[in-house]
Structure 1
Amino acid sequence: MTSKTDVPGVALISGSGSGIGRATALAFAQAGCTRLALLDLNEAGLSTTKELIEEAVGSNTSLKVHIFKCDVSNPDSVTRAYTGVKETFSRLDYAVHCAGVIYFGRSTDFSLEDFDKQNNVNYRGLWLCSREALRIMRSQSLDCDAYPEAQIPPTRAQRGSIVNISSGLALVSQSNCPAYSGAKAGALAVTRSDGIDYASERIRVNAVLPGIVDSPMTNPDPETRKWLETNPVQSTPMRRFGLPEEIADVCVFLAGNKASFVTGAGWCVDGGFIAGMAY
C-alpha cells in the first residue's frame, strides 16, 4: 500500500472519465494526493469521477479536484488544459496519461480515418500531453523544496514524474489490431526517449503496459468480452482479466518518489501475459 506521504502535490490524469484513468485518479486521492486535475473529452464521466473521489476521501477539506475538458487529439485543447492546470495549481508533480481508443481490423480492411483517429489519441495525443507536462515540470522547483513536510530525501527528489499508458501490444501483437499496436509501440518509444532526455533535469518518465483489463474500452460489448475470455485471457498465466485498480496502483507507485531510480522503463502489468509468450 502507498502511504499518505508518498504523493504530495498535484496530479493530472488524462482520460480520467472512465476505466484506468478513473481508477488512477481515485488511487491518487486514496494515497493522499489532495490536488487533482481530471482531463477528458467526456465531461459527464469527469463529473462522476470527481464525485467518486469526494465520496472516497470523505471530509478532507484540503481536497481540490478540478475538471478540464480536453481533446488530446487537438493541440490547442491540450495546451489550454495544461495551461489551466498550471494556473489553477501553480505546479504539476505527476502526470498520468491514460486517454486511449481502440479500433479493430486488419490493415487491408482498415480505413485511413480510423487509423488516424487511433494514432491521434494513442500516440500523437499522448506525445502532446507529455510535451506540455514536461514544459511545466522543467520550470519548477524540486518537490523536496516545494513540500518540506513530506521529508523527501534530496537524492530521491524530482521536479516531476510522468507515467504513460502504453500496452502489452507494444511488445507483441494479436490479430486485427495493427494500428493500435503501432500506436502503443510509439508511446513506449517516446517514453524511453523522454526518460533519457529529462533524467538530468530530475524528471522521470515511465510507461505502464497493461494486459487484458476489464474496462469499458477493452470490453465495449458482450461479443468482444466473450472473445477475450476464450482467447487472450486464456493465454494469460493468471487466467483472468486485470482490474483497472491494479493498473492504477502501479501508476501511483511509479509516479511517486518510492520509484526514484526508475525512468525510461516499461512495466508490464498483465498477469504474466508477456512472460508467457516465451513458451
Structure 2
Amino acid sequence: MSSKSDVPGVAIITGAASGMGRATALAFAVAGVSGLALLDLNEAGLTETKDLVHKDHPSLKIELYTVDVTSESSIISAYTRAKEAFSRIDYAVHCAGIVTWQGASADCTLDAFDKQNNVNYRGLWLCAREALRIMRTQPLDHEAYPDANIAPHRGQKGSIINISSGLAIASQSGIPAYCGAKAGVCAITRSDALDYATQRIRVNAVLPGVVDTYMTNSSPEVRQFMMENPVKKATPMRRLGIPEEIADVCVFLSGNKASFVTGASWSVDGGFCAGFSYE
C-alpha cells in the first residue's frame, strides 16, 4: 500500500452488495485502503462488488460476510470475523437500509413499523456498537501506520459513518417509520460521538437526498413519483444524486483530513434540506 493513501487501513461496509454501499467500497479502494470487509444479506451482490473492486485493484484483500442486520448474532459474528481477518478495523460505513411505503401512521401496521426500525435504526445501532467495541481496543492509526505520515493530533482509533437520510430533517408524507428511524440514526450518531471523542473515535452521519439506486427505481411508479415530487419539486439541483457522490463524502469523513469533525450530520442532497427553490 502506498504511503500516500488518504485512508490507510481497513474499511468495513454494510449494504455493500449494491447502491451506495457498493460505491463506497469502490471509493475506498481508489483512496488506498489495504483491506475491505463487505457485508450484506445479498451474497451474489457481494460477490459482484468484490469482482468490480478487483477489476482495478486485483491485490486488495477483500472478505465477504453474508449478514442479516436484524440479527444481533449475525452482526457480532461478522464483525468478530472481520477483526480476526484484518487485525483491526479503521473505518466503518453503515449503508444497509430499506424503505417501504407503509402509509401514514393511522394506516401503518406494526409489522411495517418494526421492519423499518429493525433494519434502519436498530440494525445500524447494532453494527455501530460492534465497530465501537473493536475500535476502542486499537492503537491510534498514526502508530499503526507510521509510513502514512499521519500527524499525531489527527490520529484516530477509528471512524464511523452512519447513513441517515435527508428525511431525518425534512419528513415526507406516507413513510413516518422511515423518517423516524433515520432521525434516530442522527441522534445516536451524536450520542456516540460524545461518548467516544476522548477515545479518539469519530462518529458522523451522512444524509443523502434522492439518489439513483434501487430504492428510487424499484418500479416505474416509484421512479415517476420520485422524479415528479422530491426531485423536481424539492431538490434545488433538480436531479438525482448518484451513489458515487455519497461515497466520496463517506471516504472523506472517514479519513484523517476530517480529523476535527465528529457528531456531524452532513447533507449530500442537492440542496433538499436547505429549503425551497422556485426557479
Q: TM-score, normalised by structure 1?
A: 0.96
Sequence identity (%): 66
| In structure 2, distance between residues paired with 1:56 and 1:131 | 32
Aligned length: 274
Name the SS of the counterpart of 1:155 in structure 2. helix
* Alpha-carbon spacing, 1:227–1:4, altered in 2? closer, same or farther (3 Å): farther
* 1:67-124 deviation line (CA, Å, top 9, x unaligned): 0111111000000000000110010000000000001121122211111111000000
The residue identity in structure 2 corresponding to 1:161 is S
C-alpha contact 1:4 1:31 (8 A) present in aligned 2: no
CA contact (8 A) 1:166 1:209 kept: yes
Query: Alignment RMSD, CA only?
Result: 1.2
Per the alignment, residue 89 of structure 1 pairs with 86
- Paired residues of 1:26 and 1:53 also in contact (CA < 8 A): yes
User: Residue 231 of structure 1: SS of its match in structure 2?
Assistant: helix
- 2-side partners of 1:32 and 1:277: how far apart? 39
Distance, in Å, in 1 between the alignment partners of 2:114 and 2:276 is 29
Consecutive aligned runs of 4 or more in structure 1 exceeding 3 Å deviation:
none
- Which residue number in structure 1 is paired with residue 14 of structure 2? 14
8 Å Cα contact 2:14-2:96 kept in structure 1: yes
1: CA distance between counterparts of 2:240 and 2:258?
Answer: 26
Conserved? CA contact 1:4–1:33, under 8 Å: no
Q: Secondary structure at the match of 1:200?
A: coil
The reply to whether residue 77 of structure 1 matches residue 62 of structure 2 is no
Q: What is aligned with 1:174?
A: 172
- Distance (Å, rounded) in 2 between the aligned partners of 1:193 and 1:277: 30
Could you tell me how far 1:276 is from its partner in structure 2?
2.1
Cα distance in structure 1, aligned partners of 2:253 and 2:69 = 22
Query: Match for residue 125 of structure 1?
Result: 123
Distance in 1 between residues matched to 2:197 and 2:158, nearest whole Å: 10
Which runs of no fewer than 5 residues in structure 2 stay unpaired? none
User: In structure 1, how many angstroms separate the alpha carbons of the residues matched to 2:173 and 2:114?
Assistant: 19
1:145-156 correspondence runs (5 A) = 145-156=143-154
Q: Distance in 2 between matches of 1:146 and 1:39?
A: 24
Deviation at 1:278, TM superposition (A): 8.7
Partner of 1:54: 54
Please report the TM-score for the alignment, with normalisation by the length of structure 2.
0.96
Partner of 1:35: 35
Contact 2:100 2:175 in 1 (8 A): yes
